[in-house]
């Protein structure tokens, strides 16, 4: 979700939107929400490259574990 500077969105806002406004069942609600400030990696047609997003998240989580 890209707020484009118009509105600051929090994880709780997104969770509330999914539960109330989005009509998702409780078991479909995301457990974790990671807010990023840079654009997600995309192809030339604008589709998100999920494998690169997964690699980024895995690298970040490994770095956090290593710092503990």
Query: Which sequence spans correspond to the domains of the chain?
Result: 1-35, 40-68
Name the DSSP letter for residue 40: P
Helices (H), the chain: 11-16, 50-67
Backbone conformation region of residue 11, classed left if phi is above 0, alpha if psi is from -120 to 50, else beta? alpha
pLDDT score of 41: 93
Residue-wise pLDDT for 16-25, tens only, equals 888 887 788 8
Residue-wise pLDDT for 32-61, tens only, equals 888 888 889 999 999 999 999 999 889 888
pTM of the model: 0.58
């Amino acid at each position: 979700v890209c707020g484009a500077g118009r509105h600051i969105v929090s994880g709780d806002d997104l969770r509330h939107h999914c539960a109330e406004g989005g009509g998702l069942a409780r078991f479909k609600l995301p457990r974790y929400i990671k807010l990023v400030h840079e654009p997600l990696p995309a192809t030339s047609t604008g589709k998100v490259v999920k494998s690169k997003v997964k690699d980024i998240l895995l690298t970040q989580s490994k770095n956090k574990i290593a710092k503990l």
